[in-house]
Structure 1
Amino acid sequence: MKGHIYKPNCKCKGKCKCNASWAYIIDIGRNPKTGKRQQKKKGGFKTKKAAEEAAAKLITELKSGLYFEESTITFEKFAYQWLSIYKNSGSVKESTIRVRNHEIKRLMDYFAKLSLKDITLKRYQDALNDLKDRGYATNTIDGAHRTGRMIFKKARELELIKKDPTEFAVVPKAIKTVEELEKANDIPNYLEKDQLKKFLRTAKEKGLDSDYPIFMLLAYTGMRIGELCALKWTDINFTEQTISITKTYYNPKNNVKKFSLLTPKTKSSVRVIDVDQSIIEILDKHRLFQKKVMLRHGDHYYDHHFVFTLIERHPGYPFYIKKVENRMERILKLAELPVELTPHSLRHTHTSLLAQAGVNLEQIMERLGHEDEKTTRLIYLHVTKDMKKEAAHKFSKLMQDL
């Protein structure tokens, strides 16, 4: 490899006596398109030895085939190129793409017009620290960092950069207050047994079309609201009295016709839920009701076999999540129950009632489609703790005559 060390800005005649910096110039091969010789120049070294060491490192990279020119592509341009690659990998949900896009936008505030190669560890870490100073939650910063890591890892794989600035970066952790620590172990809202009875009775007596079967199913199975909206009649086995959960409904903008059916939240979310005869009878009655609606609308009915569908406007399209939430709020008001409860609260209610019925935690997790869920554990431990206290009280009462 041809090259030499020199002082490009030296004006001395004869032996150099000035403080000009040192530089190197090295042949790095020929341009593959033009065939012309290419050279790499770099200056700014304070000593000749420093320039020689840098030149030796470059020559080693050239001889071993590890050398490449870093790209000048900006973070903004490459981030969206990466997002396209990520999206077309075939294994990523729409909801995840949407999250990644939001996280890229957060990083754009700091790096948009910078070349990838100019983003250092310090610069990247400063960005994470600033997100914390601006009041973003740790989970939000962690999400942005996770996306940043994936972007720079891909840039490294494609030999656009030599160093990954995210490799040693850390997400700043806020010191939790006493209130936050206590809140972390708060039991989520759910209905007690008597409250649930009142809620379901109100849904049956004063609910709109589909309300009663919807809320009975949520309360009696613990399924997620997205799983319920995605249900099709083919998922229900009326003979075996089971419901198969294989998909979830996704519609972030609540646009009736622009929805997607995605794979469930986790691998353990794919499951078969056993139901009792009462649920089967309610679903069978609902199916007959739906057939009458289909006959009334004829070809205008969007017949894709969804269990819970709209009736008058956009007939046949599945219920969207916001609509179910609004329906539930209406019934809660009529029943004079806390309106802050949501369809997800019925999932927590199902957990608490299973625990009261003596079902063990592992079986509850399997039924709900969880591998490990802190909230489920909290509810279970809360309910069983009260049951243990009650058992101790009953025993004490039994023995008090001794």
Structure 2
Amino acid sequence: MSVHKDEKTGKWYYTGKYRDLAGKRHDYKKRGFKTKKEAKAVEDAFLLKIKGGQGRIKMNALIELYHQEMKSAIKYSTLRMYEMIERLHIIPFFGDRYIDTIKTIDITKWNKERALTGNNGGPYSQEYTNNLYLHMSGLLTFAVNHKLLDDNPCKYAKPYKDPNEVKKEENAVENFWEVDEFNKFIATVENIDHKETYDTLFLTGLRIGELCALRWCDLDLEHKKLSVRGSFSTASRKVTSPKTKTSIRTIDLPNRLVEELKQRYERKKKLDGFNDNYYVFGDIAITWPGTFRYRFNNDLKNVNVKRITIHGFRHSHASYLLSNPMISESLVAERLGHSIDMLRSTYAHIYEKRRTALVEYIEKL
């Protein structure tokens, strides 16, 4: 076995021979690698597989193999986000470890350490810590699926949760913007794709998984309608049916958003192979929630507004609608894909304002 460089293309390839279980000789060869290191890692994994599956491979080599196989399956921006997580959080701790030596206790310790001491000496958010854990689990699941590992130790660990941290995505009391705060933020966003994403979230109240799963065939821009039929699950890595019947719904769109989406459609339909099954906020491949969170956090860095999570756009939409006592709560619940009980529970603080406004309205009689 050996790795060589193709002088014509500048790419690397590996080639060699092996014997199968019956003793028959076979040639193997694979081209197209950007680096010698990448070619060697993929060849090592290939040889491990043909020797009966279980073998020893280091985390560095697993990451090379993962990127080689996944680069054509997921968006470039998503791969870049994974590379950042690997470079900053996984390789420094596990890069030289054989993956079969990584145990559940190692995952638990690593995740807690990252959570508490990651962000310039301070703690990372619960959301970010979860993303680190999910990608680590994804790498080891990839190893299991390729028979490079018996079991995924992440299955028996859980992302570290700070007992003193209130879950931001469930804390609708603080995790939302008023209209003027949103306008202040959106005025600073220069990237048109990012702006269209934030406008859609703010003006529809979609969950981030629903936004990821949205296809052009789910939009009827002529009649100003958006149909929610599915949601992307990070855990299963696929679009799934919504958990409740109320989540399957049709949302009426304001004119401003309809015009934005029409312009987006005109741009996107120029892509090679474009059709209405393409994702509205991706292309032929889905864009993962973590990518949107990463973009949002970057766009938010230098803006003097209250910090919210990307789920805060949904809370902002709900809070705006519920602040008007003339709008029926059943219509708001229907638009958000909530039950009325869930709506009242999540937005109890808004209902206090509604009651006050209602009394003020009655006083005018």
When the two structures are superposed, what TM-score results if normalisation uses the length of structure 2?
0.47
Q: Which has the higher contact order (CA 8 A, sep 6+)?
A: 2
